[in-house]
Chain A
Amino acid sequence: DVKVTQSSRYLVKRTGEKVFLECVQDMDHENMFWYRQDPGLGLRLIYFSYDVKMKEKGDIPEGYSVSREKKERFSLILESASTNQTSMYLCASSFSVEIIPQYFGPGTRLLVL
């Protein structure tokens, strides 16, 4: 069974804190993605990675960074959390040569106070 897991389902952080969101996939997929999902705005790509240590900016990378030290793990880092980063964060992976997400994790709902 395909699995993309995210470290937390719910997270509450304070403004200015450094936040780490972890994602692990067990399908040996080359590509991994971080999206945020907001009502009325849909899904927006933050960063993606097509190989270990490789990363590309998506549509809204500002305020975020990523790390991919191992093939199965892709981390999203909020350097200094702000209230406008309150959102649902979704990790995804794919083996697709089309470099689009195939499977998403269940999401982490982050609240920044």
Chain B
Amino acid sequence: QQQVKQSPQSLIVQKGGISIINCAYENTAFDYFPWYQQFPGKGPALLIAIRPDVSEKKEGRFTISFNKSAKQFSLHIMDSQPGDSATYFCAARRYSTLTFGKGTMLLVSP
């Protein structure tokens, strides 16, 4: 019940394309859903987050779509750039504990 399932494990997108990463959860007690971006050799950094009472949140080229009834949320990266190549983690919070997905390695080819 604490799991967050993330897919795909890896993704290759051409420059200018849309990158889509999906996450699904079971526990309806989760109340906050952040995404993190991690570059090689660095720690993750908070990218964008959404509450379950909102269906979409956009920050620049990054958008979270949230489907409460399906218990799914996704990260869309519009106009993907080589500099977006990184590992992305979704997460879900219950109380003060985050449960992370296993990560998606994104490669944006030039």
A residues with a Cβ closer than 8 A to B are 4, 40-45, 48, 50, 56, 58-59, 90-92, 94, 96, 98-107
Given contacts A41-B102, A45-B98, 14 further A-B contacts (CB under 8 A): A40-B102, A42-B89, A42-B102, A43-B44, A43-B100, A48-B96, A58-B97, A92-B44, A94-B46, A98-B32, A100-B98, A101-B44, A104-B42, A104-B43
User: Which residues does chain A contribute within 8 Å of B42, judged by CB atoms?
Assistant: 104, 106
Closest residue of A by beta carbon distance from B103: A42
A100 touches B46 (CB 8 A): yes
**Candidates B34, B38, B101; contact of A100 at CB < 8 Å:** B34
B residues with a Cβ closer than 8 A to A are 32, 34, 38, 41-46, 49, 89, 91, 93, 96-98, 100-103
Determine chain B's interface SS by DSSP, over half rule.
Answer: strand
A103 touches B43 (CB 8 A): yes
A101 touches B102 (CB 8 A): no
User: Which residues does chain A contribute within 8 Å of B49, judged by CB atoms?
Assistant: 98, 100
A16 to B32, CA, bound (A): 39
**Candidates A42, A50, A104; contact of B45 at CB < 8 Å:** A104
With contacts A40-B102, A42-B101, A43-B89 taken as known, whether A99 is within 8 angstroms of B96 at the C-beta atoms is yes
A48 to B96, CA, bound (A): 9
Q: Which 3 A-B pairs have the closest CB atoms?
A: A104-B43, A43-B100, A42-B100
A7 to B97, CA, bound (A): 25
A106 touches B43 (CB 8 A): yes
With contacts A42-B89, A43-B89 taken as known, whether A101 is within 8 angstroms of B100 at the C-beta atoms is no
With contacts A4-B43, A43-B89, A90-B43 taken as known, whether A101 is within 8 angstroms of B101 at the C-beta atoms is no
Q: Report A91 CB to chain B, min CB distance, Å.
A: 8
